[in-house]
A and B are shown apart, each in its own frame.
Chain A
């Protein structure tokens, strides 16, 4: 019809500086529509919508062997908006260190799949790569290598800025009170010394979860999370709370005395409640009630109450008897906002066609009222890194995560795997062409431009 030499970018409201939980991501694209003849426009009320629209536009451009034209685009109209506001990817940089370059590539891929939350699982038992300004000894003694395998304040700023430019929030996770072995080396007396059944102190380097009855620990946690709140601009911080072992708590004489004094008997969930009450009170105080929380589902499973506005992440039930849909029904009944990750643990690998099960997992497919369903705000892909590092994280994650991205962005009715298969294959080839080493999705196939071709 003509050459298309320009596309108008029409942002109708002033730019926001940071992506947020309630950011608007809707956009329109008009290319030679009756009300926009011979012109192309991307419009949105929000800069985040413009970003999503640019991504769509970039995918509309194609080359044709029929016409011999390298770049062409059809007359098109798109009206688009996300189905869920939280479309996350959890990246674990504690079991294996992920270089900044890898984190940025993952962020690029997220943006190219319209995902909007990078949940950065920064620390765990294995290592503490986050270099704290206030407590540098933790990464000095708790990282794999204190000069190379850490994230400095500059590194963290770089990741946040890179993500901001792509409309992606960065939510850090500092999982506690357990999964904290790496914290203890640089923060003495933080963890619970472990006694055996006879009340004898075990070898000096054996510790359990954070010692919940030591006052100084709450001073530390308040200062530490105060720093986190000032470092990461998103008000949400993931507090973890999963898989808390009571083994060392149960055997520590001071804790036993504390339990008895409070009349808690042997109910250690009361002690865990006490820990989270103190932690959230301390962080609310230092952040002037601005910090918001995400936690793993166990806290709700243990009937631990959490501050209003806390988001609960459902991660169990993909294999166990308890179905994640039942868990979603249970947690939303309590009135908590919820995100789902159970069906999307992509670190579990298999040979063959496995993306269909990710594609078909439906977060709203549980028995519950409309009010309960509104509390499900989205979901996230999880990529734990025990057996994944920067060599394999990208091909293992993509394009399988793309199927989750479509589940969380597109209409619920978009769930036909046959229709999706060819589109996914095309998308995989697109990502490959863009320079990302992503796995094949459908078995036998080819891309016009193969890797390293």
Chain B
């Protein structure tokens, strides 16, 4: 991670993420900043270059991404 976190530990155990199944679940307080951010980071994680490529509107909605055969 950049910038380097103050403390980070990890193990070799890993999980697999599936774009079609993955979601952020807001379990605490929520607001527009969180709602937009989870959408933005979903895109950054699974379709990182999508923001830069036309003709998608930025930020595209999840359904736009999932329904787009390019992905």
Interface of A with B (CB < 8 Å)? 1-15, 31-32, 40, 43, 47, 50-51, 54-61, 69, 71-81, 108, 113-114, 164-167, 402, 405-406, 408-411, 414, 423-424, 426-427, 430, 433-436, 449
Contact = CB atoms under 8 A, between A and B. Distances in A.
Interface string B39-53: 001001110111111
Contact of B30 (A5, A15, A59, A76): A15
Given A72-B17, A75-B13, A47 B31 contact: yes
A290 to B, nearest CB: 24
Nearest to B29: A11
A114 B25 CA distance: 23
A72 B14 contact: yes
A71 B45 contact: yes
A386 B6 CA distance: 37
Contacts of B29: 11-15, 47
A78 B1 contact: yes
25 contacts: A1-B14, A3-B17, A5-B21, A6-B22, A6-B23, A6-B25, A7-B24, A8-B27, A9-B28, A12-B29, A15-B34, A51-B33, A56-B5, A61-B45, A71-B18, A74-B10, A74-B13, A78-B7, A113-B2, A166-B37, A406-B2, A408-B3, A414-B4, A423-B2, A434-B51
B63 to A, nearest CB: 18
B38 interface: yes
Q: Is the interface of B mostly helix, strand, loop or mixed?
A: mixed
A14 B53 CA distance: 35
Given A5-B23, A32-B15, A435 B52 contact: yes
Contacts of A114: 3
Contacts of B36: 165
Given A4-B22, A12-B28, A74-B10, A50 B3 contact: no
Contacts of B41: 54-55, 57-58
A47 to B, nearest CB: 5
B3 A77 contact: no
Contacts of A54: 37-38, 41
B2 A79 contact: no
B25 A9 contact: yes
